[in-house]
Amino acid sequence: MRLLYILLFWIAAAALVVLAHGMVAAQVVAIVVAGLAYVRLTAPRATLQHALGVGIVWVVLSIGGELLRGYALIGLPAHPVERDLLLLCWIVAPALFARGQPTAHRPAASAP
């Protein structure tokens, strides 16, 4: 079920990024808002590792969208700084809002 949410929030962010074509600030805001919405609505106790994993899935989907459909989801190659910024944004956006702590591993109690 969580994979479905990851995909749905990526689709929403990708649609907004495509609509804001050429406006890098609006694209960054769309990605960050999608990251916020994903974490708050579906994974409020997401750890940093989980959120970075979601970001990696989002960047892979974005690269796939560029290669397969021609959408400029990570920017145009003619503008490498903007491209790098969007690429980083896809990865980091969910992690910006992660709050949860990983569970501590307790040593097993030894039998007397």
* pTM for this predicted structure: 0.85
> Tell me: the pLDDT tens digits for 40-57?
999 888 899 999 999 999
Q: State how far the Cα of 25 lies from the Cα of 9, in Å rounded to an integer.
A: 19
Place of tokens 């910006």: 96
Top pLDDT among 109 and 48 is at: 48
Give the pLDDT confidence of 88-106 residue by residue, as tens digits. Answer: 999 999 999 988 766 555 5
